């Protein structure tokens, strides 16, 4: 355990060193960094690499049929709020070689990428061709495989749904050690997204690319209450376009400011899309070493503008943002989670209480580094300090979740509509039948009665017929959890594909809670 923490600390120091070295480039706006370059790999080398992984799985399962296999990733890697304690005693398989782009096809508008390629790498490579993935999760270091297994979303999800719906083809390795294409096993593939690596491994994917440009025009619109915002979304969702990222209302999400001690509350929705030109004298927001966090930018817009008392939408502001800056606008500070937990985390608090230090290091506070810092404390302490949960409910149930969050003293809530695709959904999908969209609600910050409030929230979500994001700790017991999903079908798929060699889903997402975190039931 001590050695594991020392490795995390070393990794954090390296991140800090790289961030400090990048500061001069950002100050002088050279558009250069010392970040890891985008890697490319031949199809031949890719096949050799996945064959080696498949062979290892066959070998270990033949030698030990009762083995439990997990991915060998370091603490703080990935975007789960759980520590790696659940991997103790399991066989760790190393897939770190799967970190390259295989092909970008500009004419057919797709990219062939391995599972550990990050969205930052994909977007940097494809924007040169005027293309981007149809859905781009908000953190730079989220991987392609992670976004499929974890149902990644973002502000274009109102059009496309979860990221897995934009996957054209995928390469899988089953628990039997077989390499299969998703199109060869449609029944398995349909229900694989959202299973968090407990049915089969995803080692590569062919993902859809859509038209984009290097700038996004964003409008900030104020709504005094949720109903007006939902009405507007329903109108916009009914109008479909085939222009990818280009045009008005191609991106939709919102921040609900709801703090009891805040002088100005309400919803600020952000609508926009890529543009080919920028008007003269337009407001431009570029990421610099001294930039405020994005939520602070939105909050300042809200507080500086005079609100009307009527119930119509109010246009607050508009600006133009480099597309890559927009895509990962919440990466620094992890939305507002870092600022919220600064009052309880000694290291983050030390930085936030010193304005000049914060100014110097805020570029360092990237999500991948914040996850590493978080892993230096126990699961019990993290879960008792702050809440990080995403839930998905029907639009007419969203207000109940928001009211619950306000009563728990959360100051800000993220709102992101996610399109539903009828019956063509995984049984882990957040989508629901007979509705055009569900509302993803992100609850991040210091809340009352933690960690107990996590269980209360998850039980409320079940009561409302919704789903909980499985990247977070799950507090539901086994019976409560599987009441949300088709357990018999899950077992059938695992048996069919040899998935029993991977961890059971409940054991993976809830095991730490039941072994290390104390709450009342």
pLDDT digit string (tens) for 261-283? 777 789 999 999 999 999 999 99
pLDDT at 36: 62
pLDDT at 438: 94
**Rounded distance between C-alpha atoms, residue 437 and residue 235, angstroms:** 12
Beta bridge partners of 248: none
Q: Terminal CA-to-CA distance of the chain, rounded, Å?
A: 29
pLDDT at 311: 42
Full-model pTM:
0.93
pLDDT at 428: 87
- pLDDT under 70 in the chain at which residues? 1, 3, 23, 25-36, 74-76, 306-313, 343-344, 363, 423-424, 521
Distances (CA, A) of 116 to 77, 120, 377, 497: 11, 11, 26, 22
The domain locations on the chain are 37-211, 214-352
The helix (H) or strand (E) run that includes residue 19 is: helix 2-27
pLDDT at 165: 94
- Give every CB contact of residue 234 below 8 A, 6+ residues apart in sequence: 395, 436
Beta bridge partners of 246: 274
pLDDT at 309: 45
β strands within 68-166, DSSP E: 69-71, 91-93, 101-105, 110-114, 131-133
Choosing among 3.30.930.10, 3.20.20.70, 3.40.50.300, 3.30.465.10, the CATH entry for 37-211 is 3.30.465.10
């Amino acid at each position: 355990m001590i050695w594991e923490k020392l490795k995390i600390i070393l990794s954090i120091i390296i991140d800090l060193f790289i961030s400090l070295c990048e500061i001069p480039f950002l100050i002088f706006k050279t558009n250069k960094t010392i970040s890891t370059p985008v890697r490319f790999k031949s199809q031949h080398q890719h096949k050799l690499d996945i064959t080696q992984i498949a062979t290892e799985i066959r070998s270990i399962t033949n030698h030990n049929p009762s083995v439990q296999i997990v991915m060998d990733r370091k603490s703080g890697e990935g975007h789960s709020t759980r520590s790696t304690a659940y991997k103790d005693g399991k066989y760790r398989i190393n897939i770190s070689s799967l970190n390259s782009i295989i092909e970008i096809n500009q004419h057919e508008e797709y990219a062939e990428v391995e599972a550990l390629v990050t969205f930052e790498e994909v977007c940097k490579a494809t924007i040169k061709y005027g293309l981007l993935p149809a859905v781009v999760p908000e953190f730079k270091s989220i991987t392609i495989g992670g976004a499929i297994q974890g149902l990644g979303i973002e502000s274009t999800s109102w059009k496309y749904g979860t990221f897995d719906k934009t996957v054209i083809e995928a390469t899988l390795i089953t628990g039997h050690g077989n390499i299969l294409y998703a199109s060869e096993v449609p029944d398995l593939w349909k229900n694989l997204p959202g299973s968090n690596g407990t049915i089969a491994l995803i080692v590569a994917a062919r993902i859809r690319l859509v038209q984009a440009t290097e700038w996004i025009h964003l409008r900030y619109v104020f709504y005094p209450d949720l109903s007006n915002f939902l009405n507007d979304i329903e109108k916009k969702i009914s109008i479909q376009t085939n222009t990818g990222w280009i045009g008005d209302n191609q991106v939709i999400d919102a921040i609900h400011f709801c703090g009891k001690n805040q002088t100005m509350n309400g919803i600020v929705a952000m609508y926009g899309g890529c543009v080919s030109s920028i008007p003269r004298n337009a407001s431009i927001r570029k990421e610099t070493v001294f930039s405020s966090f994005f939520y602070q930018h939105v909050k300042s817009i809200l507080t500086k503008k005079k609100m009307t008392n009527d119930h119509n939408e109010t246009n607050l502001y508009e600006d133009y943002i480099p597309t890559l800056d927009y895509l990962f606008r919440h990466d620094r500070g992890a939305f507002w989670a870092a600022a919220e937990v600064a009052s309880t985390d000694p290291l983050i608090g030390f930085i936030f209480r010193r304005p000049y230090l914060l100014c110097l290091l805020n570029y360092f506070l990237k999500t991948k580094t914040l996850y590493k810092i978080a892993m230096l404390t126990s699961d019990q302490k993290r879960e008792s300090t702050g809440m990080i949960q995403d839930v998905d409910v029907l639009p007419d149930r969203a207000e109940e979740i928001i009211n619950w969050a306000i009563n728990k003293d959360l100051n800000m809530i993220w709102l992101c509509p996610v399109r539903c695709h009828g019956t063509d959904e995984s049984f882990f999908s957040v989508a629901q039948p007979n509705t055009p969209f569900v509302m993803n609600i992100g609850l991040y910050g210091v809340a009352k009665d933690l960690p107990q409030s996590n269980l209360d929230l998850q039980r409320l979500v079940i009561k409302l017929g919704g789903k909980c994001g499985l990247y977070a700790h799950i507090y539901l017991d086994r019976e409560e959890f599987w009441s949300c999903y088709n357990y018999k079908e899950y077992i059938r798929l695992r048996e069919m594909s040899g998935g029993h060699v991977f961890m059971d889903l409940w054991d993976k997402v809830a095991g730490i809670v039941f072994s290390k975190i104390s709450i009342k039931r």
